[in-house]
Structure 1
């Protein structure tokens, strides 16, 4: 696939990385050990997707730049 014209959809490095599991096990600390509370996308997405969120954030950035 890396020889296809344009941006390759998958490289040899991508294939190599797929040979290794990318999920946690009980052998390593999880998110909670790092002080991160996992949450589902359905829980946090409404906060980021509400229209007023972006405008308020952008307005604050604009005010700082003036």
Structure 2
């Protein structure tokens, strides 16, 4: 089972800590996913793969 308030609280705590680190000029790396993992978890890679199947050819205007 998912515990929505637990997940929300954990996310908010990390956001607050990252904002504090930004304000103080400290590293935020410990609060970040690497960009590749972020893309995968959000679904960008899957989206781009699927959207490529539906591209249309453009007619050149003469």
Regarding TM over 0.5, the answer is: no
Normalising by structure 2, report the TM-score: 0.26
Structure having greater relative contact order (Cα 8 Å, sep ≥ 6): 2
Normalising by structure 1, report the TM-score: 0.25
Structure with more helix by fraction: 2
Larger radius of gyration: 1
